[in-house]
Amino acid sequence: MDILPAIILAFWFILPAYAANGLAVVFGRGQRLNRTLDFGHNFIDNRRIFGDGKTVRGLIGGTAFGTIIGALQFISGEQVALPWLQSNAPIGLWIYLAFTTGASPITIPFLIYQWLTFSPLFFILMGLPTNSKTLLAPTILHGFLLSFGALIGDLIGSFIKRRLDLQRGQPAPVLDQSDFVIGALIFSFVEYIPPIEIILILLVLTPMIHLLANMIGYKLKLKREPW
């Protein structure tokens, strides 16, 4: 796959996870009707299990928001992206090739069937990964798994930080920027494993984007620290 389409597909794929992780900051603000996920309890090492930065509202609100983003992706994929690809498919060229190469008459209905059903072969003929349909019009389960997985990954990140005696908000480079995307990917694998280049792009680019987003969040006074 070319690098630019791969980057675009990668971000389309991971969007619910970014949305969930980003909005947890907004939903988690304030103490009203909110509790920390560890209910203030300590772990066996007498340090907090997760700390004050992981709340019930952040988890539920973030997961719900990310799932809604996933549902909107499904609708726009089905309504816009797939019909657009279908209308741009060089079906006439394939039929011409089938004729000129002396393929059997069954080939033509076969090609049309592939085109109408968005089969893996359709995407190969379009020069896209075989499972592009799952990428372009992801299911709502996909949005949920990515959102919930992102926040569980973030929670595990905080658990590790507390074990290392890092206080809430103290930086843990790499861990702070990647825990959520690793969690999101692992959860989403239950439903679908994307091409390896998509996974690599996300693991490499996410930390940089996360840092940039947090600097903006800090300037907007949404976040307490610029990381």
Among 19, 54, 135, 144, binds ligand CTP (CB under 6 A): 54
Residue 171 CA to residue 162 CA, distance in Å, equals 12
Q: Secondary structure of the chain: what % helix, strand, coil (to 5)?
A: 65, 0, 30
- Contact call for residue 158 and ligand CTP (CB under 6 A): yes
Amino acid at 2: D
- Contact call for residue 85 and ligand CTP (CB under 6 A): no
Tokens of 29: 């603000």
Tokens of 106: 């069954």
Burial class of residue 106 (count of CB atoms within 10 Å of its CB; 0-12, 13-18, 19+): exposed
Quote the radius of gyration of the chain (alpha carbons, Å). Answer: 22
CB of 24 to ligand CTP, least distance (A): 4
Question: Scanning residues 7 to 26, which ones bind ligand CTP (CB under 6 A)?
Answer: 24-25
- Contact call for residue 58 and ligand CTP (CB under 6 A): yes
- Contact call for residue 147 and ligand CTP (CB under 6 A): no
CB of 10 to ligand CTP, least distance (A): 22
Number of residues that bind ligand CTP (CB under 6 A): 16
Question: Scanning residues 162 to 221, which ones bind ligand CTP (CB under 6 A)?
Answer: 168-169
Nearest to residue 25, comparing CAs of 144, 146, 150? 150
Residue 29 or 47 with smaller CB distance to ligand CTP:
29
Residue 38 or 94 with smaller CB distance to ligand CTP:
38
CB of 208 to ligand CTP, least distance (A): 16
- Contact call for residue 69 and ligand CTP (CB under 6 A): no
- Contact call for residue 129 and ligand CTP (CB under 6 A): no
Q: What is the largest CA-CA distance in the chain?
A: 76
> Closest residue to ligand CTP, Cβ-based?
28
Residues 6 or more apart in contact with residue 200 via CB below 8 angstroms: none
Among 9, 59, 85, 137, binds ligand CTP (CB under 6 A): 59
Nearest to residue 26, comparing CAs of 72, 59, 67? 59
Nearest to residue 22, comparing CAs of 208, 138, 150? 150
Interface positions with ligand CTP (CB under 6 A): 24-25, 28-29, 51, 53-55, 58-59, 151, 154, 158, 161, 168-169
